[in-house]
Structures are given as C-alpha cells and as structure tokens.
Amino acid sequence: MAGKKIRVTIWNEYRHEKEEEPSGESYPEGIHGCIRNFLSECDDLEIRTATLDEPDCGIPDEVLDNTDVLMWWGHVAHNKVPDDRVEYIRNRVYNGGMGFIACHSAHHSKPFRALVGTTGNLSWGDNCHEIIWNLKPSHPIAAGIPDHVDLGLEEMYGEPFYIPQPDDLIFGCWYDSGHIFRGGCTFTRGLGKIFYFQPGHEECRSFYNPYVQQILKNGVHWVAPNDFGYKNPCEAPYVKPVV
Amino acid sequence: MAGKKIRVTIWNEYRHEKEEEPSGESYPEGIHGCIRNFLSECDDLEIRTATLDEPDCGIPDEVLDNTDVLMWWGHVAHNKVPDDRVEYIRNRVYNGGMGFIACHSAHHSKPFRALVGTTGNLSWGDNCHEIIWNLKPSHPIAAGIPDHVDLGLEEMYGEPFYIPQPDDLIFGCWYDSGHIFRGGCTFTRGLGKIFYFQPGHEECRSFYNPYVQQILKNGVHWVAPNDFGYKNPCEAPYVKPVV
Amino acid sequence: MAGKKIRVTIWNEYRHEKEEEPSGESYPEGIHGCIRNFLSECDDLEIRTATLDEPDCGIPDEVLDNTDVLMWWGHVAHNKVPDDRVEYIRNRVYNGGMGFIACHSAHHSKPFRALVGTTGNLSWGDNCHEIIWNLKPSHPIAAGIPDHVDLGLEEMYGEPFYIPQPDDLIFGCWYDSGHIFRGGCTFTRGLGKIFYFQPGHEECRSFYNPYVQQILKNGVHWVAPNDFGYKNPCEAPYVKPVV
Amino acid sequence: MAGKKIRVTIWNEYRHEKEEEPSGESYPEGIHGCIRNFLSECDDLEIRTATLDEPDCGIPDEVLDNTDVLMWWGHVAHNKVPDDRVEYIRNRVYNGGMGFIACHSAHHSKPFRALVGTTGNLSWGDNCHEIIWNLKPSHPIAAGIPDHVDLGLEEMYGEPFYIPQPDDLIFGCWYDSGHIFRGGCTFTRGLGKIFYFQPGHEECRSFYNPYVQQILKNGVHWVAPNDFGYKNPCEAPYVKPVV
C-alpha cells in the first residue's frame, strides 16, 4: 500500500457542541474538527468529516464506498441515523474490509451494535478521575503509550459492558468511583477490523490528550483494510472439490 | 443446580423429512425426534420439541421463558421464522442466559445470525467424506471424544466461514473435497453461551453417530445457564460510586 | 463422572503462618487449613493438604498421580520447590489433564511459570482497598457471583501483568491506589486447565470472604479434568493416512 | 519508525542441505539462503543469516541485541542449541519485543518451546498434498493471500498440536492423508510477537511458493517490535499509589 493514502471519514453527531455550554467551549470546531486537526499530522491520511444533519447524514453510498476507516462519535441522537446507512456501513466493514472506530458513547450507536452483535450496554456515572492502563504493549495500537495514562476527568463508563469477548483487550480503565472498564478493545467481523475506545465525553477534553491522540492515530492505521487477496463471495457459494 | 433439571427445547424446521425421500428415510420421526431420543438418555434433562408449523413456531413466550437450552435445526425456511421470535430468543440468551446450539445449516438461521452478529456465510459443496478433529480435548464439550471421528458422508461446509473469532475452537472438519471448516466452536453473548456444530445434513445419518450424540449431550450441559449472581440491568443504568 | 469424587490437593508453602504475627492470627490452621475447611462443604470433593516442609514437599509422584486438582499457595520460598516436582506437575497437567489453581502470590511460583510459559511478573504495592468486577458472568467460575465483590483490604497486585493472553478473563480488580489487574483468568495447556485468582495475601482475610470461597469452589470444579477420549501420545508420533 | 529498517536474522540449522540429496538440490544455498533471497525484495529490511555451526550458533549477544525479528528453521539438531542462547532469545522477545517466526519443524525447537510454554508436539506423516486455507483475511499476515493456496507436496504435520490457544488462527492446513493442522498462528509473550507457519520441509520446495514468500514477508513486518512507550521493569517492582 506504499504511497496509497488511507481515506478516513470522521463522523460526528454534532449536536452537543452547537447547543450546550461546556461542549461548545471544549470543542468549538466540533469533536470532529478536533479529531481532524490531530489526525492531519499524519501524512498518509486523507481526511473528511461528516455530520448527522447533512444530507444522508453526510455518508451517502459514494462517501462510504471511498472510505477506508470510519470513525464514529454519537450520543443523544443514535436513533436519527437511518437503518439503511447502518446496513451499508455493516456491509462495507464486513465485505469490503472498511475499518470502524467507535469513540466513547458510540458503544450505543446503531453501527457499533450491528457490527459486534450485542447491545453495548454498560454502567455509567458522573465524571470522575480516570486512568488508562496499557494491557497489551505489543499491540500496534499501544505503540508509544506508557504503562498508564492519567486522563484526569472523564465520564465514568463501567462494567458490566455487554460486548462479545474481544479479540484483543488493549486498554483497561480505572475510575476513582470504584469501577473498571474494558475501555480499549478490538473485534474482527468478516474482512473488517473494529476498535472501541472509551475516552471522549463532550464535556471533557480527552481528545486534546496527546496519548489519546496517539492511540487514535495508531487505531486508524490498525483498522485500515489489508490489500485483500480475495473478495467476499456471494452468500452461499456452491464450490467444487479443490482436489 | 443439584437436582434441578435442564429444560431443553429442540426446535426443528421439519420440512425436509415430511416431503423428501432421503430425509424421510433417515429421520422418520423428524430430526427433532432423533435428537430427542438420544438426549433422553440423560437423566438430568427435561426435553420438549417444537417445529415451524406449530402456532408461534412452537416457541411462544411461555415456552422460551421455560427453556434453559434451545437447539436449532433449520434450512429451507429460515425466513418463515418471525422476527419477534428471533428477538425474543436473543433477549433470552443475552439477558436470561439461555443456551443456544446451532446444528448444521442453522449457521444461516435468523437466531444464529442475530446472536453472533455476522452473516454466517460459508462455502458449501456436495456430500463427501468428513473427518472431525478434536482440537481442544480439555473442553467439556470434547469429553469422551477421541482425537478424531470418522463421520463418513456429510454435506461439505467449508471456509471461509463468516463468524466472529470464536471463544473456543473445539472441532475442525476435514473433507476429501480439499476443504476444511471450523465446525465446532463456541461464543458468549451477554449471560448466554452458544455452540455451533457442523454435522447434521438431512440426507445423512450423522445424528445416529455415537460421538455426534456425545458431543451434543456435552454441548447441552455446557451451554446451560449458570445460577447467576446477578441479572442484567436496564439498558444504561446510572450508577453511583461504589467507594 | 457421576459418583466419582474430584481429588483435590491443597499445597501451601506454610511459612508465614508459623513465623509471623498477622498471618498466624488470620490463619491459625494455615492457609491450606482454611481452604480445606470451606472446600469440605462440597460433597463431591476428596481433599488432602500438602506443605513445603513435608518430604517431597508433600507431593511425591503417588500423590500427584492421584490428584485431579492441585491448588497452590506460595510466596517467600518459591525456590525451595525442587525442579523435578515442577516438571512432574507440568506433565500431569499437560498429559494427564490435572487442573491447577494458582492463588495470589503463586503468580511467581515455579509451577505457574512453567505452565503458562512467562515470568508472571507484576507490579505490587501496599495493602489497599480492592474491588473485584465480574467480567464474564456466563463462565462457570462466576456462577453465583454478583457484578462486583467489595473485598476490603488486600495486597495490591497491578498491571502490567506478564501473562500470555488468557483464554477467559473472568474477573478484573480495582484498587484505590489507582491500579487495575486481570485478577481472575484461565489458560489451557495440553489436556489441562489452569485458573489464576488474585486474592489471598497472608496478612488479609480474603479466604474467609464467602464470594472468594464460592469462586474457588467453582474453580476446582471447572479445572477438574474431563473424562478424556484419548491420552496424549508420545512426543512425535508417526501417523499413517486416516483415509 | 519511518525510515528505520527492520533488522532480520534468519537462523538455520543448515545440516540437511549439506549432507542429504533432496535437500541440497532444493536449497543449494541452504534454506536460509533461499529465505534471504526473497526477503531481500523488501526495501525496509536489513537481513543477516546465522547457522548452527558458526561460533555461538551465529547468534552471540551482540547479534541478538541488534535483531528485531528472528526467523528460525531447525530439525535434527534442536539439542545442539545451547540453553543460554535460548534464554537470551526468550529475554529479547519477552523484555525487548524482538519478534520470532518459527518455520516448519521449529515447532520442536528449544526457543519456540520456551516461548510458548508447551512441548509443541504434533502428529507427523509422509509428504502428501497440502492446501492452506485463509481463516482470517483481515489479519496483516494474510494480506494479498487468496482464500486458499494449493501448496502441492509438503510434509504432513497434523493435530493434535500441543500449543496454547493462539491469539490468532490465520491459516488452517488440509492434507490428503485425512489430517488438518492449525498451521499459521500467532502468540504474544511479554512485549514480543510470535508467528508459527507450517510449510518448509527440507525435501520440498515450499519456500519457492510465491504465497509462502508473501506470508513470510507479511509475518516479518507483523512480528517486528513496536516503538514501545515503556520498557519492562524489574521482576517485581514495588509501586506507590498513582492517585
């Protein structure tokens, strides 16, 4: 893939930042704007953004067809995303190998639920002190990350977290509320790779944390599709003996 | 759970056996009848059967509410199973811990797809010689099973098999057509456990094989729910600090 | 296996309790005595204990040959266990399917290191407030355990924990020191099953906690060997085609 | 790591090729020579070779200290590799993140056994027809590989294969002898990544197969170490609360 850029689409619900005080202050260009800014430091990425209130939620077929990695941030308007967009995303991941990164409250987004196959339910609580522990330093997503990252104030997302057993559990979260969380984990579905990462409440400033930025940069590169040796066939291909 | 019986419901589409020659001969009481017969050798099981053409497909709410383990065989009529039954099954597995065993072509059944979250697509071919290899002898589902089982004639189901990475890969299938298959594997979803097992084409006689019977008996006991220490809470419970 | 009892050997280093104040007070019969007492509530277990200062460390060949599950507690005298005992244990697990439960500081014991193949290194700190979270309620070892167990004071064992990726991550530990730990996890090696569980510092009273007792009872039943369908063959058997 | 080359050391026992007919014909420059030739097509690799009969087996400390990825081929002389080399390799993988690729009969090599913690035992049989199936196309090691590769004649290595449950099962092998094999799988140990790959009998010509070459090129890049954010600490660091 030398020389070929990874085409990233950052999708943001973009409601909080326009309407509420602390979010607007934290992310004056929107969360997608903040993410775009730091991802732009990577030369090999070609980045666009998309938001809920654009036509087709900003992700018509032609955009998704030309997206290698889709990042997703959503919270209060999960239900506004039309089912046909969800199904299209799922097919792109499954059969096209598009990568998917679910940020923070995207655990309850339609695409994440459809991809991993569970509800994504979890316990939540008030903002509190969060520390992220690096459980798998050999994983490319953990490259350059120390044994722990003191994140400061974040929204508490705790166990039980209703996800399938992840392929890789890379980061574990500690909260001073007494909770823990499998906050950085990966899944594979068909040809595609998925990464869920906990930080990113609209009222907090985690997307400005240099380690969070590094992890998301690593994540984009890790979920990006392989140069596949084959494409998914039809639903139930009849095959002849190969010997 | 000492003394408490495991309540098993064997669900069968039950179309082939009534209508087609070789299936009717192989399974004169239906596939569900054959499975019921050998499962009945276990004293700790309380068994009922259900078929597609009964009211509510034989699985109204009160049946599912009183089922610990649901076995599923379907093939030509996957689409006839109403979505509300699928959703009820999914909830029972997810939030109630009901076990689910998908036999053979149930890889494409609505409940299996809903539970594991993928299409279940695979390659298929004509009946051929199948050998099952025991890849995880320490797993309870492999108890009493030798290093390999020569199954004789079975329908060929081959890779690529579009499932999420299984928790346990217990059995691998070899076919003289040159194919292999991850034919015995487990998944966990919420409180529930799932087992997929390849053998069981309606024209073949795999359900009479003593090792296949042993594996399915083991499977029923393994997917049966724990005596849980807690029930799933609501979708997104707000929790206070525990310290 | 109905009617057949599981033969458990509880091995304890048994140095702290004889020599030091708080340990002696917490465990007047030794840690092994305390574990024996609560395991004795299970009718299907046949229990013996063994300690370091007995001949052959209390585990000569004939004892290990007649042990289905070996529990291990050690701390200051790991090096006193002779290598030939370690190798014998490893073979029993690997080729005979003997289960192994490593309690607390057994993460650094010779048998645990030999079995999982890593150093078992971890970070440790002073006793502090520990809460155990139930990450896989569907696992038999978690049967009857609520979503979290408030353990009170325990020794802090934190990440990074140098273990291979576990088969199952069942419990995660939270400490008020800001650390987390993969404190309840399983591995399979050959025919045998292994369970590591964090609580059990000699100065604390975790082995009196009813949930810790329940988890260890569950653990003994889970690591107990299957009734295997085959035994491990020689090192590199030459095999003829099976078709 | 842009601009930094991956330093690869190809280690070969190099006995068969000097002494035996078919091996010498297949690999006139030795197996290591053949591997070096095709790996040299990658611009970002800096390659050296090492063989058993060189001083320190060709891998003194200073060579290993400057190796990012160690490939290993051995067969008849596993025992000639000194234990101190094995321990040094293990430390480099574990604490330094050096990648390790075990080719073919390296399943029984001392370093592989030490790294994964099991015997690596398997069943073996005469050369026969082998087909490799791609079970995880989304994995970087499978990039560019079709759904199956018809390898022709290879030595039969079959299940049961005594390895721990792999992190990733990427390739499965089919043999016309009726056997199957988990022939392409990965493990993580400490900071290091490990890849085992089945093909490569000294009498066959698998290392000339373009897909085998592609898989090994992919493997070298995948096991290469991250730019770690931290180094392994001492054995049991005492840590203070981080909050």
Put simply, the chain C residues between 120 and 139 with a CB less than 8 A from any chain A CB are 131, 133-137
Interface test with A, best of C136, C174, C176 (most A CBs within 10 A): C174
Contact D222, D69 (CB under 8 A): no
Contact B137 C228 (CB under 8 A): yes
Confidence of residue A23 (pLDDT cuts 50, 70, 90): confident
Confidence of residue A40 (pLDDT cuts 50, 70, 90): very high
Query: What is the structure's pLDDT at A19?
Result: 82
Which one of D159, D171, D176 would you mutate to disrupt binding with B, by most B Cβ within 10 Å of its Cβ?
Answer: D159
| CB B154, CB B130: distance < 8 Å | yes
What pLDDT, on a 0 to 100 scale, did the predictor assign at position B4? Answer: 87
Give the pLDDT confidence of A158-183 residue by residue, as tens digits. Answer: 999 999 989 999 999 999 999 999 99
Whole-angstrom distance, CA of residue C134 vs CA of residue C112? 23
Cα distance between residue A123 and residue A43, in whole Å: 38
| Chain B positions in Cβ-Cβ contact with residue D168 (cut-off 8 Å) | 165
C-beta neighbour count of B124 within 10 angstroms: 18
Dist CA D93 CA D191 (whole Å): 7
In this structure, the number of other CB atoms found within 10 A of the CB of residue C19 comes to: 10
Residue B233 CA to its chain's centroid (Å)? 27
Whether residues D118 and C94 touch (CB distance < 8 A) is answered with yes
- Map residue D168 onto helix, strand or coil: strand
Q: What is the pLDDT of residue C233?
A: 64
Q: pLDDT for D212-236, tens place per residue? A: 999 999 999 999 998 877 776 667 7
Residue A82 — very low, low, confident or very high, per pLDDT cuts 50/70/90?
Answer: very high
pLDDT in tens, C74-131: 999 999 999 999 999 999 998 899 999 999 999 999 999 999 988 899 999 999 999 9
What confidence tens digit (pLDDT) does each residue in D179-193 have?
999 999 999 998 899
Sequential DSSP letters for chain A? -TTPPEEEEEEE---HHHH-HHHHHH-TTHHHHHHHHHHTT-TTEEEEEEETTSGGGG--HHHHHT-SEEEEE-STTGGGS-HHHHHHHHHHHHHH--EEEEEGGGGGSHHHHHHH-S----EEEEEEEEEEEES-TTSGGGTT--SEEEEEEEEEEES----PPPSEEEEEEEETTS-EEEEEEEEEETTEEEEEE----TTS-GGG-HHHHHHHHHHHHHHSPP--SS----SS-B-----
User: Cis ω on the peptide bond leading into residue B160 (within 30° of 0)?
Assistant: yes
Report yes or no: D160 at the B interface, CB cutoff 8 Å: yes
Distance from CA of B5 to the nearest CA of D (A): 33
Q: Indicate the range of A30-39, A79-88, C52-61, D116-125 predicted with least confidence.
A: D116-125
How many helices, marked H, and strands, marked E, lie in chain C?
Answer: 7, 9
Q: Any CB–CB contact under 8 A between B221 and chain C?
A: no
ipTM for this prediction: 0.93
Alpha helices in D55-200 (DSSP H): 61-65, 83-96, 110-116
The pLDDT-based confidence of C1 (bands split at 50, 70, 90) is: very low
Distance from the Cα of D80 to chain A's closest Cα (Å) equals: 31
Give residue D1's pLDDT band: very low, low, confident or very high (50, 70, 90).
very low
CA angle A207/A209/A215 to nearest 5° reads 80
- φ, ψ (nearest 5 deg) of residue A19: -115, -25
Residues of A in contact with C136 (CB under 8 A): 165
Residues 6+ apart with CB under 8 A from B2: none
Residue type, C65: D
With CA atoms as reference, the chain B residue closest to A112 would be B117
Say what the pLDDT of residue C11 is: 98
Tell me how far apart the alpha carbons of residues D141 and B68 are, in angstroms, rounded to a whole number: 41
**Residue D20 Cα, gap to closest chain A Cα (Å):** 31
The region of weakest confidence among B18-22, C117-121, C174-178, C214-218 is: B18-22
Q: Give the mean pLDDT of C131-143.
A: 95
Do B177 and A240 lie within an 8 Å CB cutoff?
Answer: yes
Q: How far apart are CA C170 and CA C167, in angstroms?
A: 10
Q: Between chains, do C229 and B129 touch, taking CB under 8 Å as contact?
A: no
Q: How far apart are CA A47 and CA A88, in angstroms?
A: 20
The CA distance from A12 to the nearest CA of chain B, in Å, is 21
Q: Are D39 and D10 in contact, with CB atoms under 8 Å apart?
A: yes
- Is the pLDDT at C191 greater than 70? The verdict is yes
| Residue D19, phi then psi, degrees to nearest 5 | -115, -25
pLDDT above 90 covers what percent of chain A? 82
Provide the number of CB pairs (under 8 Å) joining chain C to chain D: 117
Chains in contact with B, counting 3 or more C-beta pairs less than 8 Å apart as contact: A, C, D
Query: Is B137 close to C192, i.e. CB distance below 8 A?
Result: no
Does residue B131 carry a pLDDT above 60? Answer: yes
Pick from A44-53, B23-32, D114-123 the range whose average pLDDT is largest: A44-53
Chain B nearest C-alpha distance from A90 (Å): 9
Q: What is the CA radius of gyration of chain D?
A: 18
Q: How far apart are CA B178 and CA A81, in angstroms?
A: 44
Shortest Cα distance, chain D CAs vs residue C227, angstroms: 17
pLDDT at D174: 98
Which one of A87, A100, A123, A181 makes the best mutation probe of the B interface by having the most chain B beta carbons within 10 Å?
A123
Phi, psi of B168 (to 5 degrees): -130, 130
Residues D73-82: tens digit of each pLDDT: 999 999 999 9
Distance CA B6, CA B217 (A): 12
Q: In chain D, which residue's Cα lies nearest the Cα of C240? A: D125
> What would the mean pLDDT of B77-88 be, rounded to a whole number?
96
* CA distance between the termini of chain C: 33
Q: Is A143 on the interface with D (CB under 8 A)?
A: yes
Closest CA to B174 of B195, B149, B197: B149
Residues B243, A178: C-beta atoms closer than 8 Å:
yes
pLDDT band, residue C168 (cuts 50/70/90): very high
CB within 8 Å of D54: residues ≥ 6 apart: none
> A233 preceded by cis ω (within 30°)?
no
C82 touches chain A (CB under 8 A): no
Q: How far apart are CA C45 and CA C48, in angstroms?
A: 10
Is the CB of residue D158 less than 8 Å from the CB of residue D180? Answer: yes
To the nearest whole Å, the CA of C224 is away from the closest chain B CA by 10
Q: Is the pLDDT of residue C229 over 90?
A: no
**Is residue D9 helix, strand or coil?**
strand
Tokens at B242, concatenated: 């525990």
Q: Is D191 on the interface with A (CB under 8 A)?
A: yes
CA distance A145 to chain C (A): 13
Q: Please, which chains are in contact with C (at least 3 CB pairs closer than 8 A)?
A: A, B, D
CB contact, 8 Å: D92 with chain C? no
The mean of the pLDDT values for chain D is: 93
For chain B, the first-to-last Cα distance in angstroms comes to: 33
pLDDT band, very low/low/confident/very high, at C3 (cuts 50, 70, 90) = low
Which of these, A156, A144, A138, lies nearest to A203 by C-alpha position? A156
The pTM of the full predicted model, rounded to 2 decimals, is 0.95
Residues of C in contact with B226 (CB under 8 A): 137-140, 142-144
pLDDT digits (tens, 9 = 90+) for D133-160: 999 999 999 999 999 999 999 999 999 9
Strand partners, D125: D156
A94 touches chain B (CB under 8 A): yes
Residue A36: which of A207, A211, A221 has the closest Cα?
A207
Under the banding of pLDDT at 50, 70 and 90, the label for residue C218 is very high
Output the pLDDT for position A234.
65
CB A191 within 8 A of CB A97: yes
Residue C234 has what pLDDT?
65
Whether pLDDT at A232 is above 70: no
B147 near C CB under 8 A: yes
Inter-chain residue contact D193 with A138, CB threshold 8 Å: yes
Is A144 in contact with D193 (Cβ distance < 8 A)?
A: no
Query: Which residue in the block uniquely carries the two structure tokens 């997810």?
Result: B94
The CA distance from D150 to the nearest CA of chain A, in Å, is 9
What's at D176, amino acid-wise? D
Q: Confidence band (pLDDT; 50, 70, 90) for D237? A: confident
Q: Which of B177, B180, B181, B182 to mutate to test the interface with D (most CBs of D within 10 A)?
A: B180
Q: What is the pLDDT of residue D26?
A: 87
Whole-angstrom distance, CA of residue B206 vs CA of residue B199: 6
Mean predicted confidence (pLDDT) in D8-15: 97
Biggest alpha carbon–alpha carbon distance for chain D: 67
| A76 shares contact with chain B (CB less than 8 Å) | no
Residue D243 has pLDDT above 90, yes or no: no
A172 forms beta bridges with A133
For residue B123, the model assigns a pLDDT of: 93
* Better-scored residue on pLDDT, B233 or A200: A200
Integer Cα distance of B98 and B111 in angstroms: 13
Tell me whether D44 touches chain A (CB under 8 Å). no
Percent of chain B with pLDDT over 90: 82
CA atoms within 13 A on the CB side of C39: 27
Residues 6+ apart with CB under 8 A from C167: B167, B168, C185, C186, C187, C188, D165
**B167 in contact with chain D, both atoms CB, cutoff 8 A:** no
Of the pLDDT bands very low, low, confident and very high (cuts 50, 70, 90), residue B127 is: very high
Q: Name which of A139, A150, A193 is nearest D138 (Cβ-Cβ).
A: A193
With beta carbons under 8 A apart, name residues in chain A contacting C176: 176, 178
Mean pLDDT lowest among A65-79, B20-34, B111-125? B20-34
Question: Residue range A212-218: average pLDDT?
Answer: 98
Question: E strands of chain B, at which residues?
Answer: 6-12, 45-51, 69-73, 99-103, 123-134, 148-158, 168-175, 180-189, 192-197
- CA nearest to B158 within chain D: D133
Quote the pLDDT of residue A18.
85
Contact B164 A237 (CB under 8 A): no
Nearest chain D residue to A168, by CA: D167
Q: Report the run of H or E that residue D238 belongs to, with start and end.
A: none
User: Tell me: the pLDDT tens digits for D41-80?
Assistant: 999 999 999 999 999 999 999 999 999 999 999 999 999 9
Q: Which of A108, A188, A239 sits opposite B124 (nearest CB)?
A: A239
Q: What pLDDT, in 10s, does the model give residues B10-24?
A: 999 999 988 877 777
Q: Which residues of A touch D225 (CB under 8 A)?
A: 138
The answer, for B165 touching chain D at a CB cutoff of 8 Å, is yes
| pLDDT higher than 90, residue C36 | yes
Q: What is the mean pLDDT of chain A?
A: 93
C165: which DSSP letter? P
Report chain C's mean pLDDT, rounded to a whole number. 93
The per-residue pLDDT for A110 is 97
